[in-house]
């Protein structure tokens, strides 16, 4: 009986040593050792939670927020200049030649949408985008700016293929409305990377 118990204990001890040896091998050679993994996780966690990292992240968020708001304000100003041309009977300041004439574009039937001047729609649209940016409504801002970009591309198609005349204010507005969704997506990507670092 004692021999059987001794043999059982010896077998259990051998099995336990094999388990420990296997665990050690997995930890040591499974890409990184367990201690190295712990060091990496600790380093990343320390970086993402450090005050310096937080200040940099907050600075980027504020920069993107105000940058988009400034672009929206510039768009509202350009739309205001186009609206002035729409109601003016004098020669437009940006009437450069037969291919570049804001007066021709803003006095055409396409300068009005559902009885409202397109330039006036642009003013309110840009002001809304600026408010969404300052409020931090990134998803709504992205969707609204993409709608505005689509409408601006449609107007560019009218100028090129229908009227055959370009409006300088409209081209500037097209560039601004293209930059707003670009920087909005960049803003969202920066915040997404920050969240991934926090998960580490």
Q: What is the CATH number of the domain that holds 186?
A: 1.20.1440.130
Please state the rounded mean pLDDT for residues 9-21.
48
Q: 40-61 pLDDT, tens per residue?
A: 444 444 444 455 545 556 677 7
Does some domain include residue 47?
A: no
Q: Which residues contact residue 25 at a Cβ distance below 8 angstroms, ignoring those fewer than 6 apart?
A: none
Q: Residue 167: give the domain boundaries.
A: 61-194
Does some domain include residue 16?
A: no
Does some domain include residue 108?
A: yes
The most confident of the ranges 15-29, 99-113, 118-132 is 118-132
In this predicted structure, what is the pLDDT of residue 183? 95
Higher pLDDT, 91 or 50: 91
> What is the pairing mode between strands 116-117 and 112-113?
antiparallel
- Percent of the chain residues past pLDDT 70, beyond the cut: 68
Does some domain include residue 79?
A: yes
Place of tokens 């988009």: 68
Closest CA to 163 of 112, 113, 86, 101: 101
Q: Residue 57, Cβ neighbours under 10 Å: how many? A: 16
Does some domain include residue 84?
A: yes
Evaluate if pTM is beyond 0.75: no
Higher pLDDT, 29 or 129: 129
Does some domain include residue 9?
A: no
The most confident of the ranges 30-39, 71-80, 95-104 is 71-80
CB 118 within 8 A of CB 156: no
Does some domain include residue 144?
A: yes
Does some domain include residue 39?
A: no
Q: How far apart are CA 10 and CA 22, in angstroms?
A: 18
Q: How far apart are CA 93 and CA 85, in angstroms?
A: 9
In this predicted structure, what is the pLDDT of residue 116? 93
Query: Domain tally for the chain?
Result: 1
């Amino acid at each position: 009986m004692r021999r059987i118990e001794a043999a059982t204990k010896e077998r259990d001890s051998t099995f336990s040593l094999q388990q420990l040896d296997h665990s050690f091998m997995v930890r040591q050679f499974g890409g990184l050792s367990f201690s190295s993994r712990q060091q990496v996780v600790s380093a990343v966690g320390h970086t993402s939670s450090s005050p310096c990292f937080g200040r940099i992240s907050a600075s980027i968020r504020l920069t993107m927020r105000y940058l988009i708001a400034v672009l929206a304000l510039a768009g509202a100003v350009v739309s205001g200049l186009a609206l002035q041309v729409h109601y003016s009977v004098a020669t437009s300041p940006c009437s450069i030649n037969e291919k570049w004439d804001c007066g021709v574009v803003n006095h055409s039937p396409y300068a009005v949408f559902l009885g409202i001047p397109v330039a006036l729609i642009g003013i309110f649209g840009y002001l809304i985008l600026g408010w969404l940016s300052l409020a931090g409504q990134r998803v709504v801002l992205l969707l609204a700016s993409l709608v505005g970009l689509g409408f601006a591309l449609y107007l560019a198609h009218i100028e090129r293929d229908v009227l055959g005349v370009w409006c300088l204010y409209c081209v500037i507005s097209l560039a601004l409305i293209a930059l707003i969704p670009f920087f909005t997506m960049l803003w969202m990507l920066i915040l997404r990377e920050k969240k991934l670092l926090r998960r580490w």
